Amino acid sequence: MKNFALIGAAGYIAPRHMKAIKDTGNNLLTAFDKGDSVGIIDSYFPNADFFVEFERFDRHIEKLKYEKDTYLDYVSICSPNYLHDAHIRFALRSGADAICEKPLVLNPWNVDKLQHVEEKTGKKIYNILQLRVHPSIIALREKVKNAKKDTKFEVDLTYLTSRGNWYHTSWKGDKTKSGGIATNIGVHFYDMLSWIFGDVQENIVHVHENDRAAGYLEFENARVKWFLSISSKYLPKEIKEKGQTTFRSITINGEELEFSGGFTDLHTMVYKDILAGKGYGVDAARTAIEIVHDIRNAKPVGLKGEYHRFLK
Ligand code: NAD
Ligand code: HP7
């Protein structure tokens, strides 16, 4: 049984990590969050210790080592994006491997720094890249691998997931903390696309606002028009009429990829892989971090060239 600590325990995604730790037969020793709405811990690990001050959390972990001969194997990191690198460094210096939420970091140069810490401490950093364990995505990757080398697939990616006004007030709405919506939400898809279709050849941003972004990405094996939004105003009429607030669609050469289902247990699948000595590390995270950095810093060109049909 492996010992875990968790940073960011009071947030939206933390319960999926608690569930993954439990479902894989491991133990959450201690958790930390600035906020104290963490009653959810009782549903998974009623005996876990909890701290709201970093210094006491740190002291507790040291005490466990020197007084109880108890060591952390992993620190799971569910804090806001801009804090990931600091929390990863803490994990590795504490003698644990880190399992960190996406995006691993906001900028490519942060990735290099993390690799130095891995080298210095001999510990590993894993990133939650959960779409890479989604069965439909794995099947698509196989299909692309088996296609002729120079095939270019035509991909249309539309991802609408409505969020209320709170999103903009929270750290997620602050570009310096989340990276903006293309980073915070889109990173999954850029990672998935580059994992399936190969190196990036062109990256054009048509529109980038606080509630929607759209662009064109060309990979070795695909030409992708993408549209992403957290505003319900861009939902297709028929989706709104059904009372739905999300619309996720990927078509490849006009054919719909069925991938909406099966999202909830992906964290547990990622944990299983990591515990089995697999899992995706710093190198795997790099391409998508480069893509989101470039999208964040690009000057949108407007409605020119290969833009997504939702911009019409
Ligand atoms: P959230 O705001 O609900 O939770 C973040 C938590 O971190 C909060 O409880 C907050 O109090 C805590 N926190 C803030 N500053 C802290 C600090 N200095 N030290 C310790 N705790 C601190 O956000 P969330 O939606 O749970 O997102 C957390 C992370 O998970 C983000 O990196 C996000 O991108 C990622 N995420 C991933 C997925 C996914 O599908 N893989 C889904 C949602 C979120
Ligand atoms: N929800 C909340 O109540 N609070 C939140 O903080 C987030 C959602 P989905 P996920 O918004 O930050 C996606 O769209 O797939 C509600 C991104 N992941 O299924 O879990 C929401 O209003 C993730 O990277 O959300 O997360 C819905 O009612 C990103 O950080 C419900 O939860 C996160 O949004 C489910 O919402 C975010 C993927 O796109 C794979």
Q: Is the CB of 267 under 6 A from ligand 2?
A: no
Which residue's CA lies nearest to atom 40 of ligand 2?
A: 188
DSSP alpha helix (H) spans, the chain: 14-23, 54-68, 84-93, 108-121, 135-146, 166-169, 175-178, 181-184, 187-197, 237-241, 266-275, 282-297
Residues of the chain short of pLDDT 50, as ranges, are none
Q: Residue whose CA is closest, atom 20 of ligand 2?
A: 13
Residue 312 is predicted with a pLDDT of 82
Backbone angles phi and psi of 204, in degrees to 5: -120, 135
CB distance 16 to ligand 2 below 6 Å = no
Specify the pLDDT at position 195: 98
* Ligand 1 neighbour 178 (Cβ under 6 A): no
109 C-beta closer than 6 A to ligand 2: no
- Does the beta carbon of 180 sit less than 6 angstroms from any atom of ligand 1? no
Centroid of ligand 1 to alpha carbon of 242 (angstroms) = 30
Q: What is the pLDDT of residue 146?
A: 94
Tokens 């909406």 locate to: 260
What spacing in Å lies between the alpha carbon of 40 and ligand 1's midpoint? 15
List pLDDT tens digits, range 126-185.
999 999 999 999 999 999 999 988 899 999 999 999 999 999 999 999 999 999 999 999
In this prediction, residue 278 carries a pLDDT of 96
Q: Which of 10, 18, 16 is nearest to 267 (CA)?
A: 16
**What is the β-pairing status of strands 153-161 and 200-208?**
unpaired
CB-based contacts of 86, cutoff 8 Å, min separation 6:
none
87 lines ligand 2 (CB under 6 A): no
Residue 254 alpha carbon to ligand 1 centre in Å: 36
CA-proximal residue: ligand 1, atom 2 (nearest): 11
Identify which of 74, 131, 77 has the alpha carbon closest to the alpha carbon of residue 248: 131
Phi, psi dihedral angles at 174 (to 5 degrees): -100, 115
* pLDDT tens column, 58-86: 999 999 999 999 999 999 999 999 999 99
Domains in the chain with CATH codes: 3-128 (3.40.50.720), 131-311 (3.30.360.10)
Query: How far, in Å, CA of 186 to CA of 191, rounded?
Result: 9
In this structure, which residue's CA is closest to atom 8 in ligand 1? 11
Asked whether 12 lines ligand 2 (CB < 6 A), one says yes
Question: How many A from CA of 54 to the centre of ligand 1?
Answer: 16
CA distances from 81 to 38, 196, 266 (A): 20, 25, 20
Residue 137 near ligand 1, beta carbon < 6 Å: no
The protein residue with its alpha carbon nearest to ligand 2, atom 15, reads: 263
Ligand 2 centroid distance, CA of 148 (Å): 36
